[in-house]
């Protein structure tokens, strides 16, 4: 089993966005023939399922979930990074491994719905905004803005001195 770095995941997302000319998880699912089904899933926000008889992937999304596009992006991350793994079997073997797979899918989702290009293009507008305002500006959950800003700083600080240009307080 491969353990992916944050950098690998970012590049994987950039390749997908570039080749399909979108970062919209709904459109990407459509292009890869991944069906999205909405239903009551209890406490589960969503999950990726492989339907072997039809050689088809399904993303199940909880009707009551507020951040449906993030959940779909997250499950799409599992598709691109982990589709050859039996996640249910692995989660029963190791909580740490399950957590790592979830973390990787979270990074994938964050990189997909809030790209570096989006941040760079909006830099003149967002440079003095709080994290909450950045999340509102891009219409993403606060945790996505927080994670992306953290990842963005770690990977671009040598290019742009973000601490002096952006006051994400």
Catalytic site residues? 75
Residues 156-168 as b/e (b if ≥16 CB within 10 A, e otherwise) read eeeeeebeeebeb
Count Cβ atoms within 10 A of the Cβ of residue 15 and give its class: 0-12 exposed, 13-18 middle, 19 or more buried: exposed
Category of 116 on φ-ψ map: left (φ > 0), alpha (ψ -120 to 50) or beta? alpha
β-strand 35-39 against 46-51: which pairing, if any?
A: unpaired
CA–CA dist 114, 122 (Å, integer): 11
**Closest to 13 in 3D by CA, of 131, 123, 148:** 148
Asked if residue 166 lies in contact with residue 130, where contact means CB atoms within 8 angstroms, the answer is no
């Amino acid at each position: 089993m491969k353990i992916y770095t944050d950098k690998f995941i970012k590049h994987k997302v950039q390749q997908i966005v570039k080749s399909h000319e979108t970062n919209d998880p709904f459109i990407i699912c459509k292009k890869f023939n991944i069906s999205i089904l909405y239903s009551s899933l209890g406490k589960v926000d969503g999950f990726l399922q492989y339907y072997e008889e039809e050689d088809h992937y399904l993303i199940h999304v909880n009707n009551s979930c507020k951040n449906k596009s993030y959940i779909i992006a997250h499950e799409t991350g599992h598709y691109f990074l982990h589709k050859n793994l039996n996640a249910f079997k692995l989660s029963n073997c190791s909580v740490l491994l399950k957590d790592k797979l979830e973390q990787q899918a979270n990074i994938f989702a964050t990189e997909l719905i809030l790209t570096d290009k989006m941040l760079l293009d909006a830099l003149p507008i967002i440079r003095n905004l709080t994290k909450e305002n950045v999340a509102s500006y891009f219409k993403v959950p606060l945790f996505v803005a927080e994670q992306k800003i953290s990842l963005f700083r770690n990977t671009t600080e040598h290019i742009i001195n973000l601490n002096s240009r952006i006051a994400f307080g």
